[in-house]
Amino acid sequence: MTNSKALTSVIAERRAQRANWGAEHDSWHSPAEWIGLEFVYLRRAAEATNDGFGHPPAFREAMVKVGALALAAIEDHDRRVDAVRGGGA
C-alpha cells in the first residue's frame, strides 16, 4: 500500500484531533462512545450524498473524520489491552 492522499488526510486529521483534544482525551471514551462518534460522521457523509450523485467535498471531509476516529479508537483499544497485559503487544 502506498501513502495515498486518503491515508495522508486521515493521518493529518488524527494529528489535528490530538492537538485539539490531547492524547489523554481518548481514554475517556468507551467502545460504545467511539461507535457513536463515528456514526455521527457516517451520517454526515450520508447526508452529503442525499442527491444520489457523486461525492461532494462534505462527503470526503466526513469520511476522513470517520477514518481518524477509527484510528483513535483502535489506538485506545491497543493501549488498554497493553495495560492489562503489562505493556506487551
Please state the pTM of the whole predicted model.
Answer: 0.81
Q: Are 53 and 74 in contact (CB under 8 A)?
A: no
The predicted pLDDT at position 67 comes to: 95
Cell of 17: 484531533
User: Has residue 69 been placed in a domain?
Assistant: yes
User: Has residue 57 been placed in a domain?
Assistant: yes
List the alpha helices (DSSP H) in the chain: 5-21, 31-48, 57-84
The predicted pLDDT at position 53 comes to: 66
Instruction: Show the domain range for 76.
Output: 30-83
Query: In Å, how far are 5, 33, 51, 74 from 27, measured between CA atoms?
Result: 28, 11, 37, 11
Could you list the pLDDT tens digit for every one of the 89 residues in the chain?
A: 566 999 999 999 999 998 988 777 777 788 899 899 899 999 988 888 876 666 688 889 999 999 999 999 998 888 888 888 876 55
User: Has residue 59 been placed in a domain?
Assistant: yes
| Residue matched to cell numbers 461532494 | 56
Q: Are 27 and 79 in contact (CB under 8 A)?
A: yes
Total domain count, the chain: 1
User: Has residue 74 been placed in a domain?
Assistant: yes
The predicted pLDDT at position 30 comes to: 87
Query: In Å, how far are 42, 85, 88 from 69, measured between CA atoms?
Result: 11, 24, 24
